Amino acid sequence: MATYLVLFRFTQKGLETIKESPLRVEKAKGVFNELGAKVKEFYALLGEYDTVFIAEAPNDETIAKAAMSVASLRNVQTDILRAFTEKEFREIVAGLP
């Protein structure tokens, strides 16, 4: 399974109902799970993004579907980053010409 950082920014709608955000996190975890992804960690952030999921998924399509499903509710906007473990990074670098 590949690892991804799914970064979230609250929309105006999400901010107006911020007290419901913890429940939305649980629902989003369920959506990810139903689509074949797994949320390993959740963090609230300071800075450009408001929250992040550290998630695993079998492929890019699965994580994209999960993130788009959550974003379609219009409480958050998402950005997705593929994350490589140190071992994966070493293997990538070792294979360079």
For the stretch 35-92, pLDDT in tens is 999 999 999 999 999 999 999 999 999 999 999 999 999 999 999 999 999 999 999 9
Could you tell me the pTM of the whole model? 0.93
Give dist(CA 42, CA 29) in Å, integer.
9
41 phi and psi angles, rounded to 5 deg: -145, 155
> What is the rounded distance in angstroms from the CA atom of residue 55 to the CA atom of residue 18?
23
Give the number of domains in the chain.
1
Look up residue 70 and give its two tokens.
């959550």
Rg (alpha carbons) of the chain, rounded to whole number:
15
Cα–Cα distance for residue pair 23/12, rounded to 1 Å: 17
Check: CB of residue 67 under 8 Å from CB of residue 79: no
CATH number of 24's domain? 3.30.70.920
Note the pLDDT tens digit of each residue in 4-38. Answer: 999 999 999 999 999 999 999 999 999 999 999 99
- Domain range spanning residue 13? 2-94
